[in-house]
Structure 1
Amino acid sequence: MLANSEQTQPFTEIISKLKLHLDRSWLKHDKTSFNSASVAVTDNTLHYSGLVESRTHLLDVTSEHAVLALATAAKDPHIKEIVSMVQGNFELSPLIIKILADHTRRTGTPIKYTVFDIDGKELFTCDNASDLYYAPKTEILEKIKTWEPRKNKTTIDQSIPIEQQLRTYAEKGMQTHFSAGTKSLYGAAVIANGKIYYSGVYSSFDKRLNLHAEMVAAISAIMDGNREITHVGLISTKFEKEPCHMCGCCRQFFSEIQQKTGKEINIVAFSMNGKNSQHRLSEYLPYGWHSG
């Protein structure tokens, strides 16, 4: 396992980092019966994430789904292996297998999938997750052939207006819009603890398992240890003259983040021709749903 990665690390170090990301998981409750963390292995590096839960559960993001999106946001989508650590009862998820097969369909790279418990005991492994799921023929995205891996974060430049930096990095995020057959591109950037994180949309073929650009940017920040998101910038080629808007799902997603951190989130939406609109999240979603 992990033998082909140029960034090969001792297995004990992998396990240690997976446990770290179990702690970084964004959970509905502080105590939970189930948690997971995953690492995506490419020839360039290792991408880690924990689980992201939603109060509604409609917006839950598995750790496997998250690492696919984070690797793609870093222009490093050719994932050869995913290793997950689970805390609690494990049952193989057909949904996760579907997500892995869907990713391979667009990259052409088979994904080995292995699951361990928190003590390092192997619970499941397969050499190619697509073998477990009916996957239509591969339709590799042309644009990823020229991608060079990068970090999708930077430090805020105090000499440049925040709005300008949000636009610049939302546009950079738009470069990694990961979707087949779409005419519109979306990009987003978030500011958390003095850093900017950015991404495009990570979509699925059936459009039902999409992670919107601002969601992936937020997960990037959270899994980097920076939860206190204060700004979100959005841009889309679909909105040429007037600023785009955050969808209802993402308003709920960020409302839950704001509820947990206590930090007010400001939304800056851009049009392609340079206009922008600014709102506090509380204006965007005055009555977010929050359970006890």
Structure 2
Amino acid sequence: MKERVTNKSRLTFAVITATIGRIELHRAIQSVANQTYPAKHYVFVDGEQFFDNARAILSQYPAVTAIYLPMNTGKDGWYNSRINAIAPFLVQEDIICYLDDDNFYQPDHIQNVFDVYVKEDPDYVYTFRNLIDRKGNFLCQDKIESLGHYIKSHPNTYTVNIRHQGILLENIRFELGSEKFIDVSCYTFKRALAQNLAQAWNQIGFGNDRYVFQQLNKLNAKGICTEKFSLNYQFIPSAASIRMCSSLQAIFAEHKIELTEQEIEHIFCQIVCQINNCAHILPPI
């Protein structure tokens, strides 16, 4: 049964963050506190071994509700799955938002989401995302991955040219993923739907947001995008990306140039930005 929010002018928002006390949590908390439309922030500390690090941060933010879990639910590759599953049963707000502790919101993120719920009354609302580096600096808008129902303009195989230390590498093949998904930190749900998705979150660890998107489509849930890039996603090359960069490293080695890990990551970020900057997001069919 479709859940309707009767008093839309007073929609309440909960932001759920799972953490092990990483320093980036400061940035995430501050971004929720700085929202132009208010939201209650719940931070789940995932395991007793992380209590001290997390408490040192959370003690500085009395407005945040901290929940300390004695067990580490994210071990063995489960990441934030179990916390994402159980949190909607614990909070009382109308709308459930998720925010990984190394990501952060633009100040109008919640307001943009609120506006869509009020106007369209969907089951869930999502946003687009910006890619940022480890220091929080803007890299580019993501126009090829976390698009939900939207379509990327690029084919799945793309070629790029890069230059580093005077060496030009041309026509480097880059494989783009074809699976549609929405990044976990871009999601917001009505509470009843969020509760209904608990088992979906609990199916897998890495890639849980992709599985949730599949389940949303099976449920025929109505999802609408704000079409705003209001989530800042910390971009770190994946294992597959590192393998590609290792092949680049071998190419540079032929020119007797050794690359540091930082240079490899920088080159890969250049590639990703080059692809995104010339891409376009196409509307859903």
* Fold match by TM threshold 0.5: no
Structure with higher RCO (Cα < 8 A, 6+ apart): 2
Q: TM-score, normalised by structure 1?
A: 0.27
Higher strand share: 2
Between Structure 1 and Structure 2, whose CA radius of gyration is higher?
2
Higher helix share: 2
Q: TM-score, normalised by structure 2?
A: 0.27
